[in-house]
Amino acid sequence: MGGTFDPIHNGHLVAASEVAAALNLDEVLFVPTGQPWQKDGVTPTSDRYLMTEIATAANPRFKVSTIDIDRSGPTYTVDTLRDLKAAYPDAELFFITGADAVTAIAGWKDSEELWGLAQFVAVTRPGHQLDLPAAPEGAIQVLEIPALAISSTDIRERVSEGKPIWYLVPDGIVQFIAKHGLYGGVK
Ligand code: NAP
């Protein structure tokens, strides 16, 4: 499961759990982006990584990978999947991420190679209109996840406005954000 996770929230966790159940996955590897492609002002990778570890710690089927953080330069999914294929040569890989990201795949680096590396799972909220990119038959599955009404953008805004984020993110993430004064919140 790839994402900026700035911050990780309960929508991501429910999505991972639902996809794992629907596709009978052995585990979900959360892969926080290193330097996200074409994005400025993202929270330092160390904070996003730690929040991802904290949020997933209680679930034995959830793991976190630093594969995108450890690679220098911008994060491209083709590199993520090549590295994961090398690390898990016998695994069947599914790349789970937000549907809005998947709609832009045609513009990603080496996009034609992506279809051979993993199956893509686009998670979206119900009723959200999607323009899926041209892809080989069955290469992209779409799963509606009601909990994805929660968004990282909304959480960042709520923190900066002093509004509560309890129950939108795990308790440990509320505390981590407050302790480190992330998103313009009061320490
Ligand atoms: P984004 O543009 O920040 O997010 C697009 C939408 O998808 C947002 O609504 C976001 O909601 C949601 N989303 C993102 N990750 C999600 C996840 N794991 N589960 C559920 N919803 C998710 O997307 P991003 O975080 O930068 O990128 C997502 C993934 O695509 C990353 O692994 C990234 O490396 C990859 N990507 C690759 C390329 C490339 O290879 N050129 C380009 C773009 C993205 P939230 O903000 O609430 O998460």
Determine the pLDDT at residue 123.
97
Q: 75: which strand partners?
A: 36
Determine the pLDDT at residue 117.
96
Residues 6 or more apart in contact with residue 54 via CB below 8 angstroms: 170, 172, 173, 176
Q: Round to whole Å and give the CA distance between 1 and 123.
A: 10
Domains of the chain: 2-147 (3.40.50.620)
Determine the pLDDT at residue 186.
64
- Reduced to 3 states (helix: H, G, I; strand: E, B; else coil), residue 126 is coil
| 166 Cα: distance to centroid of ligand 1 (angstroms) | 23
Determine the pLDDT at residue 129.
83
Determine the pLDDT at residue 133.
86
> Cβ of 63: how many Cβ atoms within 10 Å?
13
C-beta separation of 48 from 22 below 8 A: no
| 123 Cα: distance to centroid of ligand 1 (angstroms) | 10
| 96 Cα: distance to centroid of ligand 1 (angstroms) | 9
Mutate to test the pocket of ligand 1, among 4, 30, 157 (most ligand atoms within 8 A of CB): 4
Q: Give me the tens of pLDDT residue by residue for the chain, a chain 187 residues long.
A: 999 999 999 999 999 999 999 999 999 999 999 977 667 789 999 999 999 999 999 999 999 999 999 999 999 999 999 999 999 999 999 999 999 999 999 899 999 999 999 999 999 988 888 888 888 888 999 999 999 999 999 999 999 999 999 999 999 999 999 999 999 976 5
Determine the pLDDT at residue 37.
66
Q: Sort strands 28-32 and 62-64 into parallel, antiparallel or unpaired.
A: parallel
| 101 Cα: distance to centroid of ligand 1 (angstroms) | 5
Mutate to test the pocket of ligand 1, among 14, 35, 97 (most ligand atoms within 8 A of CB): 97
DSSP 134: P
* Helix (H) or strand (E) run with residue 31 in it: strand 28-32
Q: In what order do the strands lie in the sheet with 94-98?
A: 94-98, 119-124, 140-144
C-beta separation of 49 from 32 below 8 A: yes
